Structures are given as C-alpha cells and as structure tokens.
Amino acid sequence: MPATAVTMRLLVSCPDRPGIVAAVSRFLFDSGANIVRSDQYSTDPVDGTFFLRMEFQLAPERREGFAERFGLGVADRFDMTWRLWEASQRKRIAVLVSRYDHCLVDLLYRWQRGELDAELVLVASNHEDFRGLVEATGLPFHHVPVTKGDKPEAEAQLLELLDGRCDLVVLARYMQILSGDFLDRVGVPVINIHHSFLPAFAGAGPYERAKERGVKLVGATAHYVTEELDAGPIIEQDVVRVSHADDVASLVRQGAEVERGVLGRAVQWHCQDRVLRHGNTTVVF
C-alpha cells in the first residue's frame, strides 16, 4: 500500500444472513484495499440485524467510482444501509450552549489539544455569557436569543447559521427544547448531554429530584436528539456514587464532572464513525 493511501471507514447495517463479511471483504480485496480494522455485531443470527464497521486503506487512484461499485455490487444485494467516510476529513462541529460552561470548556480544551477527531467551527448561545471565552480561541460566537413567543424565529436563525457549515450539532447544556421542525430541517445529527442517568429524571431539575429521592448514584447521558424529550438513542452514560450527606450543590458539582467525560466520549465516538443507530438504541464499536 503506497504512503499516499487514504484511510476509509465503512459502516453497514442490514438484515443478518450468511456471506455478508465475505462479500464486503472480497470487494475490498478486489478493489486493492487493505483492511486495518473490522468490528461486527448481530442482534440475532436468525432474523436479526447485522452491523459492521471496517477501516481500510485505499490508494488514491482506486478511489474513483469506489462507492458506486460497492453500492451496486454489494450493498444492493444485501439490502444494506451504509455510509463511507474518509478518515482525514474531520467532521465539523457546531456547539450550542446556554449558561453552564463546563461541557463547552471541555470540548474547547480537547479541540485545542488535538484530542478531538473533529473541528469545532462555531459556538452559538441564547445568552452572551461566553462570547469572550469562545472568541479567545479564535472561534466565531453567535448570540441567538430565545424569548417567549419568538422561538420559531430563533430556530430559523439557528438553521440559517448552521446550514452547510457543520456535520454535527452538539448541545453542551443548551437549555432549550428543539422542535421537531428544527430537527427535520437541520440535516445533521444532534447530540445532547443530559444531567441524569436516563431514563431516570428526564426533563428539568434532575439533581433536585435525585436529592428528593435519596439516590445513591447520579449520572449523565449523551444521546441523539429526537422530538421526544430526552428519549433519543443513548450513546454513552456514566455515574458517580453519592450519599445522603450530599446536598444539591454537591450533586451538581459531581455530576458536572461526569457530564464532561460522557459528552466528550460520545462526540469522539460519533466523529470516529463508531456509532450506528438501531431504532431507538445504538451499537457503539
């Protein structure tokens, strides 16, 4: 394989049946590709759904027509849902935030240190609080206020701002509920961090409700956003042990640490094409 070879990622989901891996591998071999990693999973070998993620290297001169040949020669035959991504093309991320900065700061830190396999391209907020923080990194900051009665206008402004500029939207504690119309029109996946171990304590005030119930664990959940509040496919979760002695402020402080890590991992895995959606669940390789 020449030094100029590009690394590609292929993600596949389809009805499970014999011969899928063989067909994909044979196609890649015949195309001159070298497989460097392969992961697979089946929900059930009989009438289940099969998931596959392959990384492979391909010489640039063999790229032309590659996707079309795979679609006609393999994907159509196995009724595959599939996507192909060149690893060197880092996904562009737009971040939406309100008045809690811990997840935003963590994403900025990972991005500036080169630890995030993506490019942050802009930050938008319904408040002005973090303009200085964001602009100090060289990123554009956009203030899109949301007031009672003008939410459709604010969402329209956000859609115009995001159009064609990003491959992923991350809600880093953006405390606004996005409408179904927005989600239909934005055209890219949206990942949210919720400060609770879903499905427990969905919606507002989860730490306060956790304290009322006397829970011994608090957690965070990163999930894809759907029209149903805090009910989209879960990507990553984590928890921290707490006790009766922790007040709400202590729960919030400990939970914020968990939120940062959970969101960072979920965004990284999405940008590395490790996440495949399956109904209202995910497969994460």
Instruction: Return d(Cα 247, Cα 208) in angstroms, integer.
Output: 9
Place of tokens 């590659």: 66
Burial group, residue 204, by CB count within 10 angstroms (0-12, 13-18, 19+) = exposed
Run of H or E including 268: helix 248-271
Pull the structure tokens for residue 23: 């067909």
Q: Is 247 a catalytic residue?
A: no
Instruction: Return d(Cα 164, Cα 73) in angstroms, integer.
Output: 31
Cross-sheet strand order for the sheet of 81-86: 34-42, 49-58, 6-15, 81-86
CB-side neighbour CA atoms (13 Å) of 56: 26
- Judge whether 150 and 85 are in contact, CB under 8 Å: no
Q: 62-68: which pairs have CB atoms within 8 A and are 24 or more residues apart?
A: 62/31, 62/32, 62/33, 63/6, 66/31
- Judge whether 217 and 242 are in contact, CB under 8 Å: yes
Task: Write down the catalytic residue from 16, 106, 167, 230.
Answer: 230
DSSP-based three-state secondary structure for 61: helix
Within 8 A by CB and 6+ apart from 277, the residues are 224, 233
According to DSSP, the residues that pair with 119 across neighbouring strands are: 92
The set of catalytic residues is 230
